[in-house]
Structure 1
Amino acid sequence: MRISLRLLRYFTAAAETGSTTAAARQLNVSQPSISVAIRELEALFDDTLFTRESGAKMTLTRFGVRKLAEAHQLLRAAASFEADDGGDAAAGEVQIGVFSTIAPVYLPVLLRIASERFCDLSVRFIEGDLMQLEDALRSSRIELALMYDVGLPADIERECLAELRPYALVPAASKLAKKTGKLSLHDLAKEPLILIDLPHSREFLMAPFWQCGLAPEVRYRATSLELVRGMVANGLGVSLLITQGKAGAEPAAIERPIREETIRQPLVIARPARASRTKAAELVAQCMRDAVNEAMAKGAGRAARTRRRGTRTD
């Protein structure tokens, strides 16, 4: 038996959905077709791809994890070959990942730019925390990711787009919002803190306080940037953030720069180091660069207007 793209698609769909029924629904084929394809592959490899328990979700074996990464690479190479057949790289599909807290700021801009430039290019995305995106890159479920570099390992290649400084988010009606100039971490640490509670992110955002020997009271934890902004706007505390607010962000929460020189957060395009790059993925990478530049320029303009309003108030 020869490996076919059909078998690889059936296998990857089952792995990603966790069941043959869901995979069949996704691909619009019969459930037995998925089951037969998996049995054929396991017979060819003489090894199991999934562990199966009654009523439980299908789980990849260690061998299955390795084969899934290879299947993704082969399917991507086939899509690239097909798209390049007519000399048009701006066609086909590119799978990307975006860190969940920055997705509302950059992803809509990225998708708009890509659709305006390349109407035949489909950009599919997943959101996740930093660890989930790292796993998705390693397993080749995505070709590139827009994320923060918080100690990415050597097998993940990264291109730095910007180095972002932490800033304070304070209620607009608070005394901190009315102070002139930059805010000190010492002042911020006296207030209840609302912390972004995601792997790596929480440690990174606490590090500036720790560097100054400060231990603020963490009153609330949230995984959503919008929730943090809403809580600050309602006077429930202050926050230290990296990701800028998107257009139309909560006006009752004010962004203020930090006085102390703190560690900076690299915003990067991440890719598997040894994976081949498709032309379509490179086009999407350029859209990422332009989306970040556009969003940051708008954010800088909003920050300047906020500073001017604060000066007039003082």
Structure 2
Amino acid sequence: MTADFTLRQLAYFVAAAETGTTAAAAKRFYMNQSSMSAALSELETSLGVKLFIRRRGKGLELTSSGRDLLPEARRLVREIDEFASWAGSLQSELRGRLVIGCFDTIAPALLPPLLKGFAELHPDVEVDFLEGGQSELQEALLDGRIELSLMYDYGLPASLDRVVIRRPAPNVLVPADHPVAALDETDLLGLADEPFIMISTAPAKQLITAVFQAAGVTPKVRFSSANFDHIRALVQLGMGYSMISQSSGLQPLHWNDKVVAVPVSGPVPHEQLVAVLASRDRLTRRARAFLDHCLRDRA
């Protein structure tokens, strides 16, 4: 049976769902709004389902059928883009668009060098990224908004494939003039009486809590924040110490030398950083190349 709709119409559907208006979707394809509206109506007629609820002045809202079909439509559009990229790369390099995800608290340290290195290897691939929490990134993987995500291997469903890219260790974060800053490593018992600044986002908070529990220490939490730059600033001003999981030598490039990360001594829990994939079999060549780059670049 031959489909009565086109792949171009599926691309219009995805764009309209992502932008929320026919006018914004039309801008993506350099067409007028009336042509976009007509194409979406034709697609609904061909499929025999209503994809959008249209409210004057309020844009488009996906119907339940539209929400169900969107992930598969994204997959089909991405695979056609991959097919075109593959055909073009028979005579040239990888090209096209790749969207990845990254857990927000690790993004400042992890993403910039990865993106720079990948751009040097594959200048014709346009990489965009989504930052968010674990649950948001899992949802984005499953509904096709991103192809892979860099995050902690913590609380992930078994249905998601994962590849280990880093094995970071817990470090305490102290001001440069703190006595601990001069040490090669430190235990947590010696810091037990000092104020602690907790990262409040999951799973970072849970991972830090597990490290303290393994050391038999209860931190005296003075402040909590979801913004690690804010936490770093508080540490720099001597308002307390904090904890970060990082690979050796890997910290945000914009940080200065007024805060120091010192490894925690003893047997402490280590959570792996992984590249999470909805399906390894469905990765585009661009995503596979980015995953290979992550593995080559790991510390």
- TM-score of the superposition, structure 2-length normalised? 0.87
Q: Indicate conservation of the 8 Å contact 1:167/1:255, yes or no.
A: yes
Query: What is the letter of the counterpart of residue 241 of structure 1?
Result: I
Structure 2: runs of 5 or more not aligned: none
Partner of 2:82: 80
Query: What is the letter of the counterpart of residue 173 of structure 2?
Result: L
Residue 75 of structure 2 corresponds to residue 69 of structure 1: no
Residue 212 of structure 2 corresponds to residue 209 of structure 1: yes
Deviates more, 1:43-52 or 1:86-95: 43-52
Q: Indicate conservation of the 8 Å contact 1:103/1:127, yes or no.
A: yes
Instruction: Find the aligned partners of 1:289 and 1:58 in 2 and give their Cα distance.
Output: 41
Instruction: Find the aligned partners of 2:46 and 2:202 in 1 and give their Cα distance.
Output: 39
Partner of 1:85: helix, strand, or coil? helix
Residue 113 of structure 2 corresponds to residue 109 of structure 1: yes
Aligned ranges 1:34-73 → 2 under 5 Å: 34-51=36-53, 56=58, 58-73=60-75
Residue 170 of structure 2 corresponds to residue 166 of structure 1: yes
Aligned ranges 1:221-240 → 2 under 5 Å: 221-240=224-243
- Using the aligned pairs only, state the percent identity: 34
Q: What's the offset of the Cα at 1:250? A: 2.5
Q: Indicate conservation of the 8 Å contact 1:149/1:265, yes or no.
A: yes
Out of 283, 290, 298, which is 1:277 matched to?
Answer: 283
Q: CA RMSD in A?
A: 2.4
Instruction: Give the count of matched residue pairs.
Output: 292
Distance 1:118 1:255, change over 3 A: same
- TM-score of the superposition, structure 1-length normalised? 0.83
Distance 1:22 1:234, change over 3 A: farther
Instruction: Find the aligned partners of 1:221 and 1:20 in 2 and give their Cα distance.
Output: 42
Partner of 2:190: 187
Q: What's the offset of the Cα at 1:134? A: 0.9
Query: What is the letter of the counterpart of residue 29 of structure 1?
Result: M
Distance 1:172 1:200, change over 3 A: same
Instruction: Find the aligned partners of 1:275 and 1:89 in 2 and give their Cα distance.
Output: 22
Distance 1:72 1:213, change over 3 A: same
Q: What's the offset of the Cα at 1:212? A: 4.1
Q: Indicate conservation of the 8 Å contact 1:160/1:268, yes or no.
A: yes
Distance 1:181 1:90, change over 3 A: closer
Q: Indicate conservation of the 8 Å contact 1:158/1:270, yes or no.
A: yes
Instruction: Find the aligned partners of 2:77 and 2:56 in 1 and give their Cα distance.
Output: 30
Instruction: Find the aligned partners of 2:63 and 2:234 in 1 and give their Cα distance.
Output: 43
Partner of 1:302: none
Partner of 1:122: 126
Out of 234, 254, 258, which is 2:264 matched to?
Answer: 258
Structure 1: runs of 5 or more not aligned: 297-314
Q: Indicate conservation of the 8 Å contact 1:11/1:34, yes or no.
A: no
Residue 15 of structure 2 corresponds to residue 13 of structure 1: yes
Instruction: Find the aligned partners of 1:155 and 1:57 in 2 and give their Cα distance.
Output: 35
Partner of 1:132: 136
Q: Indicate conservation of the 8 Å contact 2:22/2:59, yes or no.
A: no
Partner of 1:267: 273
Out of 141, 146, 150, which is 1:142 matched to?
Answer: 146
